[in-house]
Amino acid sequence: MCLGIIVSSDDWYRNKEWNDEIEETFYSKLKRARSQKDQYMVIQALTLTDKYPEVALRLVEEYFDSRTNQFDDVRALLARANAYISLEDLNNAIAAYRAIFAREKEFPNHQTGAYLDYPYLVATQQIKGEYENAVNVLNEHVGRLTFPLDIFKWYASLALINQDGSYASKALDAAKVKRSGFRFHQVIGLVGKKYEKTIKQLCKIST
């Protein structure tokens, strides 16, 4: 007997693929949604930033044109930054991160991981004009470090910017951690394979 696949009711705004049919369904359901339309649009934009960055950017613009409040602004700006990174448009990515920091200062309860993502981008892409500001951002938010990945990005960014072996060694130590230390979230926030290139760079600096 074949069992039908049960699809979660919230899949309509978490599409990982995108085409005309999916877009039509998304906007149809968005139009019928009684609340949280802003959130649905931002979640869909965030989900598409890697594979469909142009679509993500369009959704972000539509969000800002139609939003009913500012609650999801920081996440919308994060989607914008991630989309521009996918498009290798670093100037606009940096501008988006600056907008995130400005909004986070205005609304302290609305925080993202931009305090790590921005310096890490600056460091790995060798955007030297941003080095000083990136270091300032890292130092300002050092108290927020929680997971091994957070610690890795923090030290890796400083190591690459300053070509500092001691920072590189601490980043590599964080990359070796296999358990997050949280009782019910042991595998969350670990350094994955996507950071292998950076790890190789850090190994050269640490020697």
pLDDT tens column, 144-159: 999 999 999 999 999 9
The DSSP 8-state label assigned to residue 158 in this structure reads H
pLDDT grade, residue 187 (50/70/90)?
low
Q: How far apart are CA 115 and CA 140, in angstroms?
A: 9
Helices (H), 67-113: 73-86, 90-106
Residues 85-129 have pLDDT tens digits of: 999 999 999 999 999 999 999 999 999 999 999 999 999 999 999
Question: What's the whole-number average pLDDT of the chain?
Answer: 92
pLDDT grade, residue 201 (50/70/90)?
very high
Contact in structure between 205 and 160 (CB atoms under 8 Å): yes
User: What residue ranges do the domains of the chain occupy?
Assistant: 35-112
Q: What is the pLDDT of residue 7?
A: 42
Q: What is the pLDDT of residue 178?
A: 86
189: left (phi over 0), alpha (psi -120 to 50) or beta: left
Contact in structure between 159 and 195 (CB atoms under 8 Å): no
Q: What is the pLDDT of residue 5?
A: 38
Q: Say whether pLDDT at 3 is over 90.
A: no
Q: What is the pLDDT of residue 186?
A: 62
Residues 64-83 have pLDDT tens digits of: 999 999 999 999 999 999 99
